[in-house]
Each structure stands twice: as C-alpha cells, then as structure tokens.
C-alpha cells in the first residue's frame, strides 16, 4: 500500500528525469491523451511488477546453480556466457508463469475457437518447456540457445522494464563468479502463488 500511495500522491513531474519513460507518461497526460490518474497508474505498473519477478529470477538462478555445480563452473570459466545463462534461468524458472489477455477479435488457436471479448491465458512457463520448441527442455543448460524464451513476453508485449532485471542479474552473477566456487542449499521453501513462480525462502552457504 505504501508504494501505491507514493505513486498516486507523491510522484510529480518536477521530480522525474527529463525525457524518461515516467516523464513522458505525464507529458501524455498534459496533452490529454491519458488522464493524470492513468499516468500515475502506468508508473506504478512499471515499478511494482519489477520487484517480485526480479527477486524470484535472482534466487532461482542461485538455486539452479547450487543444484547444478557443473553449470556454475562453466559460467565461472567463461563469464561471457552470463547473458545466455540468464536466458536459460528465465526459460526454466519463468518468474511469471501466466498472463491473461483479452481477445480483440474472433480467432482460432490450434483448433480452439477464441471469441472476441473472451480472455485467454498465455502460459509462459509452459511455452518455455514446450518439447516442440526446446530439445530436451527439462535439463538446466546455460549453453542452450535460449534467447527466444518468453518469460517477459514477446514483441509489442515485451516487458518494458526487462533491461533493468537483466542488468541486475548480470552484475550479481559476474560478482559472484569472481568470488564463489560453489553454493550449498541450507533452507528452501517455494512460494505459493497462482501467477508467480519463485522461492519464498532461500538460505545458502557459499564456498
């Protein structure tokens, strides 16, 4: 609630970086293209979803490398593989498992009729493990060409904030690769959520 209150009562155009995405939202409101309430809502939607998804992606990465120490060794020996490793983490442990969309016109997908106005559930987690796309999808393999994973959407629906978590995860893995030989899991509890996939608790030892 604190974040919601901040977004709708505290954020002002004068406090934003010029030409930033948030500043442009307020500029659109000034032009009458959207309301001021919608501009603030867009900023909230940008900030809010980035929290849990980024936390889950980072913790899932560390967990996967603890389970697969040989993959961690590969990353440490070749830090240039980090971007590909991030794609593989996102593929196999997609932080957002599903997302709903309204159907804008009558259409058909794989023989299933989707009438206009209905809602379709896009299952990112399923798509990222689909045997028709990924050869042997279950193993965690940082050498896999996984750039086409759909964890953050696709095309015009690609998450606008995606570069930030990529930067954060890359910086963290690069720092750990210089200092850590292996991870050991001490405690783990998976979070229960209808949409998000991640770990509620992850306590590790590092060597």
What tens digit of pLDDT does each residue of 105-155 get? 999 998 999 999 999 998 999 999 999 999 999 999 999 999 999 998 888
Q: Are residues 43 and 69 in the same domain?
A: no
| SS3 call for 161 | coil
Q: Are residues 40 and 115 in the same domain?
A: no
Q: Are residues 2 and 89 in the same domain?
A: no
Q: Are residues 59 and 31 in the same domain?
A: no
- Whether residue 94 contacts residue 149, with contact meaning beta carbons closer than 8 Å, is answered with yes
Q: Name, in order, each residue with C-beta under 8 angstroms of 23's C-beta and a sequence gap of 6 or more.
A: 13, 16, 17
Q: Are residues 116 and 138 in the same domain?
A: yes
Q: Are residues 24 and 99 in the same domain?
A: no
Q: Say which DSSP state 17 is in.
A: P
Q: Are residues 67 and 5 in the same domain?
A: no
Q: Are residues 180 and 125 in the same domain?
A: yes
The whole-number pLDDT of residue 123 equals 93
Q: Are residues 4 and 78 in the same domain?
A: no
Q: Which two tokens stand for residue 190?
A: 């998976």
Residues spanned by the domain of 34: 1-47
Q: Are residues 43 and 55 in the same domain?
A: no
Between CA 114 and CA 188, with CA 122 as vertex, the angle to 5 degrees is 150
Q: Are residues 164 and 202 in the same domain?
A: yes
pLDDT tens string for the chain (207 positions)?
566 676 667 777 777 888 888 889 989 999 999 998 898 888 777 776 678 899 999 999 999 999 999 999 999 999 999 999 999 999 999 999 998 889 999 999 989 999 999 999 989 999 999 999 999 999 999 999 999 999 988 888 888 778 888 999 999 999 999 999 999 999 999 999 989 999 999 999 999
The whole-number pLDDT of residue 142 equals 98
Q: Are residues 107 and 92 in the same domain?
A: yes
């Amino acid at each position: 609630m604190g974040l919601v209150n901040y977004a709708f009562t505290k954020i002002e155009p004068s406090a934003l970086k010029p030409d930033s995405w948030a500043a442009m939202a307020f500029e659109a409101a000034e032009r009458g293209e959207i309301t001021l309430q919608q501009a603030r809502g867009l900023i909230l939607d940008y900030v809010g979803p980035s929290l849990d998804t980024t936390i889950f992606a980072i913790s899932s990465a560390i967990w996967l490398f603890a389970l697969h120490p040989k993959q961690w060794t590969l990353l440490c020996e070749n830090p240039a593989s980090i971007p590909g490793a991030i794609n593989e983490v996102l593929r196999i442990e997609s932080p957002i498992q599903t997302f709903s969309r309204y159907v804008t016109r009558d259409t058909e997908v794989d023989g299933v009729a989707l009438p206009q106005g209905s809602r379709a559930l896009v299952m990112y987690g399923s798509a990222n493990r689909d045997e028709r796309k990924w050869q042997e999808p279950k193993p965690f393999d940082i050498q896999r060409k996984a750039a086409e994973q759909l964890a953050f959407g696709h095309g015009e629906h690609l998450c606008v904030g995606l570069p930030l978590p990529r930067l954060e995860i890359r910086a963290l893995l690069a720092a750990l690769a210089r200092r850590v030989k292996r991870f050991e899991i001490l405690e783990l509890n998976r979070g229960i959520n209808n949409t998000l996939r991640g770990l509620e608790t992850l306590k590790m030892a590092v060597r």
